[in-house]
Structure 1
């Protein structure tokens, strides 16, 4: 069990990287005249080393976000004072195992590693103090007479374990417990828009005991399907995926523009999309027809004038709904991914 499970609220002032065998992205946070450091894991000590991540650019949970926005700056003790704020990946319904992709710490190329997903949103927060960061994890400090290792402020204060904190085996088993998972939530308060970053290790088991958080069986998988209502539906297995979108198209002379979403059928057989639909984070939906051959890519022009999805340039979600009404795929994007007008965003 984590000893000091807390949430830190504050504004970002600096960013650093410790490029060693156990790398973290280090974020300096200011809160009520006190400096803190968020240490975010971006590589696992154990194999496989690449982390699981979900970058939710249109995070919606009205009850939780309202409670967070009302918190004072600084650290709030979740276990002692605010147990209602606790995050549990497995039971809370906030995130599913299949929502998460795998990404390395850093490799060449755009938008293909954790640095590409985390650092831009931190840099945006450094430039805009109306953006508030909420880091859930294990707090340390104050470390009197000991300057911070990366930013030099004193006393040293901070929060780490910003990732799933259950389902571990071996040397990390002692820190398992339910209702203590880490995450980084970001509030763009001027727009009242939220984003969230969820991290986990591939070695962690998503089938955990509800009392101890220890793994149940040897299978690392599990869907993390919870009892809560923070997400209306889990993502179901599907060979159809959203692979690209034209979110910020160039306006035509008549003032209109064509937003598009591209799907691919990854399977070796044709797939019908009769009764399927595309939806945005606000629930606007567009019906699909026809079928996709094996390996086929299909670009669909959205029809917002007839109630179809609208892809907001500030960030949002694109959701693929199957004929049974279940979520077959869901992707999120941020404002930085729409900056180049007329460019296609690749997921």
Structure 2
């Protein structure tokens, strides 16, 4: 587990590139009169060397971004002071593995390597101090009487491990843990738009234990739909997927809440729903009926009064089982995704 999981808020003032076997893009950040360095991995020491990345240019997550905007400049201790800000690639719903692309550190040609995705954002921030950077990861320092090795400010301090920090089965297994993943978020304050950069090593496993962050299966997982509370059952091949849920609806008459789950049939043939079930993390189920036509989307109202699934606002799992009782799809959501009453969560 990371020792000092923090988020750094500040503005960019300089950029540098190291040239060793484990290269990083180094960014100098200024925050309330103090200088920091953030180190972004752009190549893995271990094979495969190319990283997985996602560069979301119109990032929207109101609960997270509003909380970040309210933070003071400088370092914030996430575990101690703001645990709700913790990022978990597998469980928080911010990113899925299938949304990430493989990119080399640098390659000839336009827009095909990590440098060409990351450096322009940093350079724009250097030119505009109204652009705020938020780096999540492991903090180091302050290192008194030891100037920073790239930018020469003193004391040296900053943030590294700005990438997924779980699912490692090799030399970095000791740093595995849930709710401690790294990322770089950028706020363009003049337009109130956000960008987000997520980084992951191809060797990391997305099937992780919710308590330790260690891998729990040989399969690295094709997507970031992780299990929140227990070891996941295998997911069988299925054309039906859970794509959304209304977890925290506006209270109706008598204080009732009309929670819903939305399914899609991705295939080109109709799928009978008779005998399929929706299930929550506590084993409460609701049997489905009818048919989903090719490409059809259906929103199903959950019947909690009849003992059906209940979607807890603190976070949980939603499971779809086929007629054999096998898990056809499973999604996890966190407390932060339920903060906006009446909003639908997209998986």
TM-score (norm 1): 0.66
Cα 1:81–1:213 change in 2 (3 A) is: same
Do 1:93 and 1:227's aligned partners in 2 also have CA atoms closer than 8 Å?
no
Match of 1:72 in 2: 72
How many angstroms does 1:221 deviate by?
A: 2.1
Instruction: Kindly state the Cα deviation for residue 217 of structure 1 after the two structures are TM-superposed.
Output: 1.6
What's the offset of the Cα at 1:227? Answer: 7.7
Taking structure 1 as reference, are residues 8 and 30 closer, same or farther at Cα in structure 2, changes over 3 Å only?
same
For residue 241 of structure 1, what is the aligned residue in structure 2? Answer: none
Report the CA distance shift for 1:135/1:237 in structure 2 as closer, same or farther (over 3 A).
Answer: farther
- State how 1:123-138 maps to structure 2 within 5 Å: 123-138=123-138
CA distance in 1, matches of 2:54, 2:226: 17
- Specify the structure having the higher radius of gyration (Cα): 2
1:171 aligns with 2:171: yes
Instruction: Give runs of aligned pairs for residues 14-93 of structure 1, distance below 5 A.
Output: 14-93=14-93
Contact kept in structure 2, 1:17 and 1:26, CA below 8 Å: yes
- Residues 92 and 227, structure 1, Cα contact 8 Å, conserved in 2: no
Query: How many Å apart are 1:220 and its aligned residue?
Result: 1.6
Count of residue correspondences: 238
Distance 1:237 1:157 in 2: 48
Query: Where does the alignment leave 5 or more consecutive residues of structure 1 unmatched?
Result: 229-235, 239-270, 273-321, 327-347
Aligned residue in 2 for 1:162: 162
SS in 1 for 2:136: strand
Normalised to the residue count of structure 2, the TM-score between the two structures is: 0.66
CA drift of 1:22 comes to 0.5
Q: 1:226 to 1:214 in 2, by over 3 A?
A: closer
Matches within 5 A, 1:79-228: 79-225=79-225
Aligned to 1:323: 295
Q: Structure 2 CA distance, aligned partners of 1:324 and 1:116?
A: 39
Note the 1:231-270 alignment, pairs <5 A: none
- CA deviation profile, 1:226-258 (whole Å, cap 9, x unmatched): 589xxxxxxx999xxxxxxxxxxxxxxxxxxxx
Cα distance in 2 for residues equivalent to 1:68 and 1:76: 10
Q: Secondary structure at the match of 1:88?
A: coil
CA distance, structure 2, for counterparts of residue 130 and residue 32 of structure 1: 14
C-alpha distance 14-237 of structure 1, shift in aligned 2 (>3 A): farther
Kindly state the Cα deviation for residue 225 of structure 1 after the two structures are TM-superposed: 1.5
* Offset, 1:143: 0.3
SS in 2 for 1:171: coil
- Specify the SS of the correspondent of 2:139: strand
Q: Distance in 1 between matches of 2:168 and 2:33?
A: 36
**Aligned partners of 1:237 and 1:116: how far apart in 2?**
37
Is contact 1:205–1:222 with CA below 8 Å preserved after alignment? Answer: no
Q: Give the SS at the match of 2:67.
A: helix
Deviation, 1:325, is: 4.6
- Indicate conservation of the 8 Å contact 2:25/2:42, yes or no: yes
**1:224 CA drift (Å):** 1.4
5+ long unaligned stretches in structure 2: 229-236, 240-266, 269-293, 299-347
1:212/1:79 Cα in 2 relative to 1: closer, same or farther (>3 Å)?
Answer: same
C-alpha contact (below 8 Å) 2:207/2:226 kept by paired residues: no
Q: CA deviation at 1:219?
A: 1.4
Shift of 1:222: 3.9
Distance 1:151 1:144 in 2: 15
Superimposed CA distance per residue, residues 56-86 of structure 1 (whole angstroms, 9 cap, x where no aligned partner): 0000000100000000000000011110000
Preserved contact between residue 59 and residue 196 of structure 1 (Cα < 8 Å): yes
- 2:115 match: secondary structure: helix
Match of 2:337 in 1: none
Runs of 4+ aligned residues of structure 1 deviating over 3 Å after TM superposition are none
SS at match of 1:80: helix
1:139-193 superposed Cα distances (whole Å, 9 cap, x missing partner):
0000000000000000001100000000001211000000000000000001000
